[in-house]
Amino acid sequence: MSVTVRIPTPLRKITNGLDKISASGSSLSEIIKEIEKNFPGFQSRIYDENNQLRSFVNIYINGEDIRFLDGLESNTKSGDEVSIVPAVAGGN
């Protein structure tokens, strides 16, 4: 089962410049583990020291925020699209 993961610009140096990668797993946490195997250092940019999603990282599965699903244990299936979006701060 293959899922497409969209990689934001700040993480592309870890994925050798790739903006999209394919990964397999039945949950988001399995997907992240597989990406870590292929691109060491990726997981530490997503997880904090307690293995929880960093507060400034938003992840969506097919456009749905995982915080309103089952978090890192949200189910994934073949053909899903995962988007990793770093939070943006600023303004007036």
What ranges do the domains of the chain cover?
A: 3-86
Residue 60 DSSP class: E
Record the pTM: 0.88
Domain 3-86 has CATH 1.20.120.160: no
CB 53 within 8 A of CB 59: yes
Structure-derived torsion over alpha carbons of residues 17, 62, 54, 87, reported in degrees to the nearest 10? 70
The pLDDT confidence band at residue 72, using thresholds 50, 70 and 90, is very high
Q: Starting from the edge strand earliest in sequence, which strands make up the sheet with 81-86, in order?
A: 20-23, 3-6, 81-86, 57-61, 64-65
Q: Is the pLDDT reported for residue 89 higher than 70?
A: no
Q: Is the pLDDT reported for residue 51 higher than 70?
A: yes
Q: Is the pLDDT reported for residue 92 higher than 90?
A: no
Percent of the chain residues past pLDDT 70, beyond the cut: 93
